[in-house]
Structure 1
Amino acid sequence: MRKVLAILLPLLLLLTACGGTSTGKSAGAAEIFDTVKVSGGSDEEAPTVEFESPLDTSAAAAKTVAEGEGAEINEGEQIRVQLVALNAEDGAVLGDTYSQGEPQVLPMDESFKGQFPELYEVLIGTKVGSQVAFAAPAPEAPEGAPEGAPENPKQILVLKVISSEQPPPEPAVLSPEDVKKLDDEGRLPTFTFGENGAPEVTIPENEPSDDLVVKVLEEGDGEVLAEADTITANYTGWTYDGEKFDSSFDRGEPATFPLTGVITGWTKGLTGQKVGSKVLLVIPEPWAYPNATQGQPSGTLVFYVEITGKEAAQ
């Protein structure tokens, strides 16, 4: 969750349908993009990106390399972008979002600004349709990585801004009265259980709530969970079309994790519940994986959770 921004840690270059460069906004060591040329491509197809290699990515840099003709991007909006990542040493394509079908959504907020100040500076005030190049030093290997492990490649990313708009309203936690109303109307998922206690879900055909649904199926008699606690739980998760994507029951043991280290829907939905409780969570996308990367589920998610224990924060 919220790891969407990690896609940007390589560098980024804007793609253009006509090729060439532009004298648009820039920040950081933007002179590294002087030899970059892009050609072809569209909103659905990645462009060809060429440059004199290697590019020096030792300092962060961003530059608008082709001006769009749409509305200006403003603070607080969210933008949809397509990206292509290339090896800064030899220009080889490392990956793209075009082949994944859906553009990435990036929030123009303080969190993004803090992580990518050069890119944020260039994007704000740039027009929709623009191509923006971005570069940053390669991230260091994580602590504990085996000695001799290959280093992360130096990368550039090519980004095209597809659209910019105000973000949807922040979800809320649905009131118990509204949850009961949905339940009485048959508009909530239901569960059946196998011999090992593993749940199977039946999801109604209606559209899910835009807010977080928390329904206590069976209340426990243990301690109340605080947001700062680490909890142990058995769970299964499905997308709203009924596809299972994760289950501790399948692994044969419960999972342990801090409530502050999971998706927002878990943090808000399980804080205040008791150990021993069994809970249904229907989590809207903004509180699940709003910028789902490969391997993460997208859209509204359904979870069955059995809280088996907790460790209070020290």
Structure 2
Amino acid sequence: MRKVLAFLLPTMLFLTACGGASTPAEFDQDGKSAGAVETLESVEVTDAGPDTAPEVEFDAPLDITEQGARVMTEGDGAALEAGQNVSVHVLSLNPEDGSPLQNSYEAGAPQTLPLDEELQEVYPPLYEVLLGSKVGSHVAFAIPAEEEVPQSQDVLLMLQVISAENPPQKLSSEEVAELEEAGQLPTVTLNDEGVPSIEFPDNEAPADLVVKVIEEGTGEEVTEADTIAANYTGWSWQGEQFDSSFDRGEPSEFPLSGVIPGWTQGLSGLKVGAKVLLVIPSDMAYGDQPAQGPAGPLAFYVEIVEKVSAE
């Protein structure tokens, strides 16, 4: 459940100034809202554009005892749909005095917030308010402290919806063949010891997940619930190798439910012994600005050596 909080409260620079000036938006009693919205009655927002933190004013302190969310200013873009990856700028404020805590505008990159079942479960008012709201909207979200979370505190978030995209999908074998025929996929070469090298094409990475089966497996089929052993090498789309079990001299074991989505979806359904090329978009890997792991789209050569255990 804390995974969603990581999207909403990433490590960001402290706010030092708010730019722009316009008439603060009046609190719309008929605006889309959910949860304990009475907490937000005094909140006013001054939009400063998509690249600058808005000015936020309220009667401090806010008494936040339950989650509450409200659209403060309505955007004029497309309506958000369930399942989309929503790009948001986040301004986090201390409800006691309005002081800034975190600010993605100054960090220079919006955060990706999946509008999915996890968000609906953990932050239902925010999910309800975002669903159907429009790109460009400012959304206020009050979150009370949680006893089970160390150093947790009440927080007022102001989210600005920058864009929304449908999440990447796994391409069909026919679609993968079309990309390969067009010369848009990396080429993997194995040396005499079976160690892979790779050559990348001069084009951007595919937007969806590519699973190119180099050699079919003949063993048991693996599922998301399985733990497997695999040999692999990973490269960034710029061609830089960042990890390889071949360099360590032995396969690595991992549960398919505990790795990046590109591995989970890309390897599930294959059989032990399969050798595959995975081309993984950043949204199914570590993201464009990860706290750990390589950034951007990635390519992996993977050999499924063994099914270690199954649930």
Deviates more, 1:302-311 or 1:215-224: 215-224
Identity of aligned residues (%): 51
1:62-121 per-position Cα deviation (integer Å, ceiling 9, x unaligned) = 1233x2351573543744321112334454433232234343344545554333221233
Q: Structure 1 residues 21 and 77 mapped into 2: Cα distance closer, same or farther (>3 Å)?
A: farther
Whether the 8 Å contact between 2:104 and 2:111 is mirrored in structure 1 is yes
The TM-score normalised by the length of structure 2 is 0.73
What letter matches 1:155 in structure 2?
V
- In the TM superposition, residue 236 of structure 1 has moved relative to its aligned partner by 3.4
Q: Is the Cα contact below 8 Å between 1:17 and 1:38 reproduced in 2?
A: no
Q: d(CA) in 1 for partners of 2:130 and 2:182?
A: 46
Change (3 A) 1:77 1:94: same
Calculate the aligned-residue CA RMSD, in Å: 4.0
What corresponds to 1:147 in structure 2?
A: none
What corresponds to 1:160 in structure 2?
A: 160
Q: What residue in structure 2 maps to residue 264 of structure 1?
A: 261
For the pair 1:22 / 2:22, whether they are aligned, the reply is no
- CA distance in 2 between partners of 1:308 and 1:77 (Å): 34
- 8 Å Cα contact 1:72-1:124 kept in structure 2: no
| Partner residue in 2 for 1:73 | 79
Residue pairs, 1:31-50, within 5 angstroms: 31-39=38-46, 41-50=48-57
Q: Unaligned 5+ residue runs, structure 2?
A: 11-18
Q: Distance in 2 between matches of 1:252 and 1:55?
A: 57
Is the 8 Å Cα contact of residues 105 and 291 (structure 1) preserved in structure 2? no
* Structure 2 counterpart of 1:31, one-letter code: E
Asked whether the equivalents of residues 85 and 94 of structure 1 are also in contact (C-alpha less than 8 Å), the reply is yes
Deviation of 1:277 after TM superposition, in Å, equals 4.0
State the secondary structure of the residue aligned to 2:70: strand
Residue pair 2:170, 2:266 contacting (<8 A) in 1 also: no
Residues 1:229 and 1:101: Cα distance change in structure 2 (over 3 Å)? same
2:168–2:209 Cα contact (<8 Å) kept: no
Give the unaligned 5+ runs of structure 1.
143-149
Match of 1:202 in 2: 199
> How many equivalent residue pairs?
298
Q: Is 2:284 the counterpart of 1:283?
A: no
CA distance in structure 2 between the aligned counterparts of 1:203 and 1:242, rounded to whole angstroms: 7
Q: Corresponding residue for 2:309?
A: 312
The CA deviation at 1:179 is 4.2
What do the CA deviations read for 1:212-253 (whole angstroms, capped 9, x no partner)?
322344556654323321112343333323345555567776
1:83 counterpart letter in structure 2: V
Distance 1:226 1:46, change over 3 A: same
How far apart are the structure 1 equivalents of 2:148 and 2:306? 34
Query: Match of 1:230?
Result: 227
Which digits, 9 at most, give the CA deviation of each residue in 1:162-187, with x for residues without a partner?
345xx448623331x65456446543
Aligned AA for 2:76? G
Q: Take 1:96 and 1:285, find their aligned partners in 2: how far apart are those partners?
A: 23
CA distance in 2, matches of 1:61, 1:116: 9
Instruction: State the Cα deviation string for residues 8-30 of structure 1 (Å, max 9, x = none).
Output: 379xxxx9953364223332222
Distance 2:147 2:244 in 1: 32
